[in-house]
Structure 1
Amino acid sequence: GSAGDPNIPDHITLWGLRLKICQTLDQYANVRPARLLPGIKGPLAGVTAEDLDWVIVRENSEGEYAGAGGRAHVGLPEEVGLDVSIFTRVGVERIQRFAFELAQSRPRKKLTLVTKSNAQRHGMVFWDSVFERIKSDYPDVETDKMLVDAMTTRMVLDPKSLDTVVATNLHADVLSDLAAALTGSLGIAPTGNLRPERDMPSMFEPIHGSAFDITGKGVANPIGTFWSSAMMLEHLGETEAASRLMSAIERVTADGSVLPRDLGGTATTRQVTDAVLGALAAGNV
């Protein structure tokens, strides 16, 4: 679940908990599915579930979130703050190969690389060059490349042209929030922080973060947590349980009578939870 406190700066809770877990356990593959669930109408007119079914793969251990940098001359007119992106060949190649293998497992077998190599001529060009070098190892995967600013336009205007996407830690973080909004709400979006080698634990969570304006009101959307749980079950090899949970979620969204307010309904967190539990208990999902 999301963690935070309105009295603690976000960068303290992020670096003290989530990033501490992901980097210490080297959970380098962040996987963020985005698709229109049954009954959910996204903001894009005429876009169907067949048009918008993506998986965004985010490098999760280095890049813009490597933690390199600092501040000097604090409080003085010449104060400076510095963050340095770090891209290693090991880090870039392993996340790109993970994305290629994921694309191979999906029906369309298509992978889009997102960088900003026209302006960031070192790290981003490095990402491009690694991609060019390894893509011949996956001849069954169709590939293309986009600059991150142009990618936001493509996601809105031509969603059906996309399938699997791979990008840096920062770029994929931003793009996955846009993807969640295009599928109806940030409240439904799941994520898995994976250690693909399985020699250390993986971690699963909704992507929405903490929402201090609704804390304690009982109106938060629990679907992102449930979907993340389905991803966890699948990762653990409990495919039948994962399928049952995902089917229960989809039955509730398709029915449309019990939806949280961020999806246009009036249901509380408890009511949505009870509806999903009811769908599971029905035994035919």
Structure 2
Amino acid sequence: MTKRYSIAAIPGDGIGKEVVPAGLAVLRAAAARAGGFALDVTEYPWGSDFYRATGRMMPEDGTATLRKHDAILFGAVGDPDLPDDLTLWGLRLAICQGFDQYANIRPIRLFPGIASPLVGADAAALDWVIVRENSEGEYAGHGGRAHRGLPEEVATETSIFTRTGVARIMRVAFRLAESRPRKHLIIVTKSNAQRHGMVLWDEIAAEVAKEFPAVRTERVLVDAMAARMVLKPRSIDTVVATNLHADILSDLAGALAGGLGLAPTANLNPERHAPSMFEPIHGSAFDIMGKGIANPIGTFWSGAMMLDHLGEPAAALMITDAIARVTAAGLLTADLGGKATTAEVTAAVIAAIEGRNL
């Protein structure tokens, strides 16, 4: 009997409208080749254009609408003519926080045929997973502004660290590290300067570590971690960091692996009380919108992560193996130094999934 998965597709803004259709085509090809399951896709036209028409980034009942789906494939959010905080909090963060998608998983891999900016880096040097706390920390949205426009104007942005929030992301990170061959977890902190929330972060990490004796841990300050990613990439395997720290470090990691166009994200509700959301991290990139040159690989890889989450690892592997075949063949978009279009890369990845010549 064929299993059917209900997928919500939200292309969003900018090149999201180009890479999400490409991602869906690749997902359908993998489903057809793997057999045994099918994807029922519903597309939602939410984002900045929707805001201009309605005054909202998504309908008031948007999360209730999405809850019926098994997973969400998201493109990008952001518009140069609208405030970034309006677009981000109105759509992407509304979904992440509304569904308590507290574990953000960002794998890093150097695909064949792609050169890293790091001299001498190879696939063994760049094989990491960054686990980002995705619900609180520096992006909790707690704070405010007073005396607007006056000389004494003040703004506060309060980081929030709860015992529950820190403990649960640590357990996700430790389980992931334990599942990987090296069983090594780096806990990123800044507790030398941030002596309340980050000290709690460190203390809870040490407590949770006792539950995972097979995992070797290190505690590394975030600035030292940035340097280590560049200078000693082979010393890194699994990393856990706060919302802000992991956001920055994972973008650096994506650049080291060839570019942000390659990088995927899974926003997980690990307990599966609500759907999880999968997206590339490259943003809306209005400067290349409509040119047909956006790199769709980050979306393909995000789709593979979605299939794995749904319980279809064989189909997920088909996609990542196909990506590797295509990059090894030198079929690359402009951001990677190539001349291929979005459509050409998409067609090549589908051909590789189907076992055809590129």
Q: Aligning the two structures, in what range does the TM-score lie when normalised by the shorter sequence?
A: over 0.9
Which of 264, 267, 276 is residue 337 of structure 2 equivalent to?
Answer: 264
Q: Residue 20 of structure 1 aligns with which residue?
A: 94
How do residues 185-224 of structure 1 correspond to structure 2 at under 5 angstroms? 185-224=259-298
Deviation track 1:115-156 (CA, whole Å, cap 9, x = no partner) reads 111100101111011111121111100100110001000000
Q: Residue 240 of structure 1 aligns with which residue?
A: 314
Q: Residue 173 of structure 2 aligns with which residue?
A: 99
How big is the alpha-carbon RMSD for the aligned residues of Structure 1 and Structure 2? 1.2
Code of the residue aligned with 1:261 in structure 2: it is A
Q: Residue 43 of structure 1 aligns with which residue?
A: 117
Structure 1 unaligned segments of length 5 or more: list them: none
Q: Residue 348 of structure 2 aligns with which residue?
A: 275
Question: Within 1, Cα distance between the matches of 2:349 and 2:145?
Answer: 48
Code of the residue aligned with 2:125 in structure 1: it is D
Quote the offset at 1:283 in angstroms: 5.9
Structure 1 stretches of 4+ moved >6 Å: none
Question: Within 1, Cα distance between the matches of 2:174 and 2:246?
Answer: 16
Which of 278, 302, 309 is residue 228 of structure 1 equivalent to?
Answer: 302
Q: 2:103·2:268 contact (CA, 8 Å) conserved in 1? A: yes
Q: Residue 146 of structure 2 aligns with which residue?
A: 72
Quote the offset at 1:281 in angstroms: 2.1
How do residues 103-118 of structure 1 correspond to structure 2 at under 5 angstroms? 103-118=177-192
Q: Residue 151 of structure 1 aligns with which residue?
A: 225
Question: Within 1, Cα distance between the matches of 2:348 and 2:83?
Answer: 35
Quote the offset at 1:3 in angstroms: 2.1
Quote the offset at 1:213 in angstroms: 1.1
Question: Within 2, Cα distance between the matches of 1:121 and 1:76?
Answer: 31
Quote the offset at 1:158 in angstroms: 0.2
Structure 2 unaligned segments of length 5 or more: list them: 1-74
Q: Per the alignment, in what secondary structure is the counterpart of residue 107 of structure 2?
A: strand
Question: Within 2, Cα distance between the matches of 1:129 and 1:233?
Answer: 35
Q: 2:278·2:302 contact (CA, 8 Å) conserved in 1? A: yes
Code of the residue aligned with 2:345 in structure 1: it is V
Which of 207, 212, 215 is residue 138 of structure 1 equivalent to?
Answer: 212
State the TM-score, normalizing by the size of structure 2: 0.78
Q: Residue 34 of structure 1 aligns with which residue?
A: 108
State the TM-score, normalizing by the size of structure 1: 0.98
Question: Within 2, Cα distance between the matches of 1:219 and 1:71?
Answer: 41
| Residues 168 and 245 (structure 1), Cα distance of their counterparts in 2 relative to 1, 3 Å cut | same
Q: 2:145·2:156 contact (CA, 8 Å) conserved in 1? A: yes
Question: Within 2, Cα distance between the matches of 1:5 and 1:116?
Answer: 32
Q: Per the alignment, in what secondary structure is the counterpart of residue 103 of structure 1?
A: helix
Say if 2:268 is the partner of 1:178. Answer: no
Deviation track 1:179-234 (CA, whole Å, cap 9, x = no partner) reads 00000001000000000001110000001111111111111110000000000000
Which segment drifts farther, 59-68 or 128-137? 128-137
Question: Within 1, Cα distance between the matches of 2:132 and 2:118?
Answer: 24
Deviation track 1:149-172 (CA, whole Å, cap 9, x = no partner) reads 010000000000000000000000
Question: How many residues get paired?
Answer: 284
Q: 2:351·2:357 contact (CA, 8 Å) conserved in 1? A: no
Question: Within 1, Cα distance between the matches of 2:94 and 2:123?
Answer: 36
Quote the offset at 1:267 in angstroms: 1.0
